[in-house]
């Protein structure tokens, strides 16, 4: 298929001069260099790959599992996917080291561990909240210190 200016818009399996978006392979062009390949089965996307201008995969989806990539081709994140990240999820630094590993709920970190670039655990997430942040707040309350300014009469 071409647009009115003659630019390629889509290619793939056709039925009766129409793209087969029911049970076919379709390649849709975002522009002349980036495109999306989609394999349809029974009217639903079974798998898809999104390519950037350099021809590198920046996102792929297959059977409710999604992977996203940095522009250099290294993996950025992967996990269960059904309209949003829900379930198992891993996030990576650009150098391929793990940043987060655990569960997501509505695309947010829900339960899991956060790592620095050396692989050391720097935080833990429980039910969407940072353990490190809760620990600091609890410690501050136990010491009786809030956000008091030095020099105030109730400063300890």
Is the pLDDT at 156 greater than 50, yes or no?
A: no
Question: Is pLDDT above 60 for 153?
Answer: no
Identify the pLDDT of residue 141: 58
Q: How confident is the model at residue 138 (pLDDT cuts 50, 70, 90)?
A: low
Task: With cut-offs at 50, 70 and 90, classify the pLDDT of residue 145.
Answer: low
124 vs 19, more confident: 124
Average pLDDT for residues 114-143, to the nearest whole number?
A: 79
E strands, the chain, are 10-12, 14-15, 18-19, 25-29, 35-41, 44-51, 57-62, 65-69, 75-82, 84-92, 98-105, 108-115, 121-126, 129-130
Each domain of the chain, given as residue ranges in start order, spans: 1-63, 84-156
Task: Assess contact for 33 and 40: CB atoms under 8 A.
Answer: no
Mean pLDDT of 65-81: 91
pLDDT, residue 140, reads 59
Cα–Cα distance for residue pair 64/72, rounded to 1 Å: 24
Whether the CB-CB separation of 124 and 113 falls below 8 Å is answered with yes
């Amino acid at each position: 298929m071409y647009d009115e200016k003659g630019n390629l818009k889509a290619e793939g399996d056709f039925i009766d001069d129409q793209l087969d978006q029911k049970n076919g392979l379709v390649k849709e062009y975002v522009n002349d260099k980036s495109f999306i390949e989609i394999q349809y089965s029974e009217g639903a996307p079974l798998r898809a790959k999104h390519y950037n201008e350099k021809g590198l995969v920046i996102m792929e989806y297959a059977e409710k599992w999604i992977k996203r990539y940095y522009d250099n081709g290294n993996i950025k994140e992967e996990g269960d996917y059904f309209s949003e990240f829900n379930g198992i999820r891993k996030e990576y630094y650009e150098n391929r080291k793990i940043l987060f590993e655990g569960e997501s709920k509505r695309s947010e970190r829900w339960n899991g561990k956060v790592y620095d670039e050396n692989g050391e655990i720097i935080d833990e997430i429980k039910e969407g909240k940072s353990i490190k942040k809760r620990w600091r707040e609890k410690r501050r309350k136990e010491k009786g210190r809030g956000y008091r300014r030095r020099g105030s009469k109730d400063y300890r």
